[in-house]
């Protein structure tokens, strides 16, 4: 079945550091890929998505590129802020709107001032 593997946390960085959170996936066909974020005390929010190979999703300074050859969708940000502290989830959808999402276990990101 489909699966998502993302780097274990917590990841602790200083403000303005470069961020990479690795995500790789296993799926049949051509899934859509997502990053969701969960801020403390809040629900899951869609951060960005990509629906086909080589697409780049971006939002709020975060970027991720759909790499079919390496089955990866790594999340990056050039300069993190304290307000980026949250749990980040990589996810895939195998059949567009007719499919439940398969999530990774989440990566807790802590940004220190």
Partner 1 sequence: GAGVSQSPRYKVAKRGQDVALRCDPISGHVSLFWYQQALGQGPEFLTYFQNEAQLDKSGLPSDRFFAERPEGSVSTLKIQRTQQEDSAVYLCASSPGTDTQYFGPGTRLTVL
Q: Which residues bind partner 1 (CB under 8 A)?
A: 4, 32, 34, 36, 42-46, 49, 51, 89, 91, 93, 96-106
Residue (42 or 69) nearer to partner 1, CB:
42
Min. distance of Cβ 6 from partner 1 in angstroms?
9
Taking the least distance from each CB to partner 1, the nearer of 15 and 99 is: 99
Shortest Cβ distance from residue 43 to partner 1 (Å)?
Answer: 4
SS3 of 62-93: the string is: EEEECECCCCECCEEECCCCHHHCEEEEEEEE
Q: Answer yes or no: are the C-beta atoms of 110 and 12 closer than 8 Å.
A: yes
Kindly tell me which of 43 and 113 has the beta carbon lying closer to partner 1: 43
């Amino acid at each position: 079945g489909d699966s998502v593997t993302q780097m274990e946390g917590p990841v602790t960085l200083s403000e303005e550091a470069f961020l990479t959170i690795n995500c790789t996936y296993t799926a049949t066909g051509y899934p859509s890929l997502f990053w969701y974020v969960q801020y403390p005390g809040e629900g899951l929010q869609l951060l960005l998505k990509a629906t086909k190979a080589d697409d780049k999703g971006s939002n709020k300074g975060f970027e991720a590129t759909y790499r079919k050859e390496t089955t990866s969708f790594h999340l990056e940000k050039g300069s993190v802020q304290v307000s980026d502290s949250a749990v980040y989830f990589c996810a895939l959808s195998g059949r567009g709107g007719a499919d439940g999402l398969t999530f990774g276990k989440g990566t807790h990101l802590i940004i220190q001032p």
